[in-house]
Structures are given as structure tokens and as C-alpha cells.
């Protein structure tokens, strides 16, 4: 009787140990899959959206034009982090991918820029702009459907409507609003680089 009881107890112990081992292995595999899924789903696919509307031809306090200062920032930024860059405001409101910053022209179709980034597969956008969009309502609507954070760098007076709009747009998407000084290009480049995280598309 004692032998049977001992054998049964030993068998139960072995079964329990096996079950625990299998459970741990399953848990580890599940955790690894969850981590991988989170990594894939959470990957930041960034796009830089730059305002090349007519007002970007204006001068900055330190001398030179806004567009030329921005051109230098984008060139250095892309050498360090080759993020896809789209210009908006050129060719009568078109939005296009660019390798270098074009000359300023036309208006500020920010809604179209956000929609363009979404179509290209971005889930994070960094906008550099010096003014208000052609349509605030359309821009807010595009931002709501974008599905990711939009960080805005506003080049201008920090107390005007453009700056307030930048804050509202960023807050709507869980992004940040920043007052950009094109007279300090290295500082601006560094801030944008930090926001890009693990890269572009």
C-alpha cells in the first residue's frame, strides 16, 4: 500500500512539474509574440512636412530668408536621418516628396499635406510652418483621421494665431507644439531628430 501511494505521489509530482514547464514555455512564447507585435504595430513611420508657401521668402532676424535657413536644416537633418520629406504650398497647393527644399510659392495647404503623409503610410508627422493653413477646419479634420501624433514647429511670433493653431493641432493628435527659431538651425535640427525616433517610412 505504501509503495502504491509513493508511486502515485511521484507521478503526480512529475505531472505537475511537466504542466508547470509547459505553462511557462507557453507564457514565454506568448510574451515574445506580444513584444514582437507591439514592436511592429508601434514602429514610428515618420514624414517631415515643410511649408514652402510664399511667406517663407521673408527674412529672419539673423539675416537671410526663412526658406534658406530651413533648406540648411533639412539638408543636415536628412544626412543624419533620411526621413521622407514632402513640401506643401508649391504648384498651386500640390504636395510632393522632395530631396531638397524648393523655392517658396503659393499658399499653405496643410490639410492636403497631412492627407498625403497618411496615404504614404506615415503614422507620425513633423510639420514646419510659418503661418496658418488655408483652412483650419479641413486641417483639423485631416489630423483627426491621420491616426498618429503630429508635432508642429512654428516659425514666427509665439503670440499670434499661427502659434495658437500649432498648439491646437498638436494637442488634437497627441503631438507637441514648438516655437522654432530658424536663426538657430542646429537647435531646430536636434529637436526634430529627437522626435523622429526610430526613423522614417
Which strands form 94-97's sheet, in the order they lie side by side? 94-97, 85-90, 46-51, 124-129, 150-155, 177-180
Beta bridge partners of 103: none
Q: What is the pLDDT of residues 151-192, one digit of tens each?
A: 999 998 888 999 999 999 999 999 999 999 998 999 999 999
Q: What is the DSSP string of 49-96?
A: EEE-SGGGGSB-TTSSBHHHHHHHHHHHHHHHS---EEEEEETTTEEE
| Chain centre distance of CA 40 | 15
Taking the C-alpha atoms of residue 38 and residue 34, their distance in angstroms, rounded to an integer, is: 6
Domain 44-196 has CATH 3.40.50.410: yes
| Chain centre distance of CA 69 | 22
User: Which pLDDT belongs to residue 102?
Assistant: 93
User: Which pLDDT belongs to residue 35?
Assistant: 43
Mean pLDDT score across all residues of the chain: 83
Q: Report domain extents, the chain.
A: 1-42, 44-196
Average pLDDT estimate for 45-73: 93
Please give the span between the terminal C-alpha atoms of the chain, in angstroms, as a whole number: 71
Give pTM, 2 decimals.
Answer: 0.77
Amino acid at each position: 500500500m505504501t509503495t502504491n501511494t509513493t508511486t502515485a505521489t511521484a507521478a503526480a509530482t512529475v505531472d505537475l512539474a511537466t504542466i508547470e514547464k509547459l505553462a511557462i514555455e507557453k507564457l514565454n512564447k506568448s510574451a515574445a509574440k506580444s513584444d514582437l507585435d507591439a514592436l511592429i504595430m508601434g514602429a514610428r513611420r515618420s514624414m517631415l512636412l515643410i511649408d514652402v508657401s510664399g511667406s517663407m521668402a521673408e527674412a529672419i532676424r539673423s539675416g537671410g530668408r526663412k526658406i534658406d535657413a530651413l533648406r540648411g536644416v533639412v539638408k543636415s537633418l536628412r544626412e543624419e536621418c533620411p526621413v521622407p520629406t514632402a513640401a506643401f504650398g508649391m504648384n498651386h497647393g500640390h504636395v510632393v516628396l522632395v530631396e531638397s527644399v524648393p523655392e517658396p510659392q503659393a499658399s499653405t495647404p496643410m490639410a492636403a499635406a497631412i492627407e498625403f503623409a497618411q496615404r504614404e503610410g506615415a503614422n507620425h508627422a513633423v510639420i514646419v510652418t510659418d503661418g496658418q493653413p488655408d483652412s483650419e477646419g479641413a486641417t483639423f479634420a485631416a489630423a483627426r483621421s491621420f491616426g498618429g501624433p503630429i508635432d508642429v514647429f512654428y516659425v514666427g511670433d509665439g503670440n499670434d494665431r499661427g502659434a495658437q493653431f500649432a498648439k491646437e493641432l498638436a494637442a488634437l493628435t497627441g503631438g507637441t507644439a514648438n516655437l522654432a527659431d530658424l536663426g538657430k538651425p542646429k537647435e531646430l535640427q536636434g529637436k526634430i531628430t529627437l522626435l523622429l525616433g526610430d526613423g522614417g517610412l
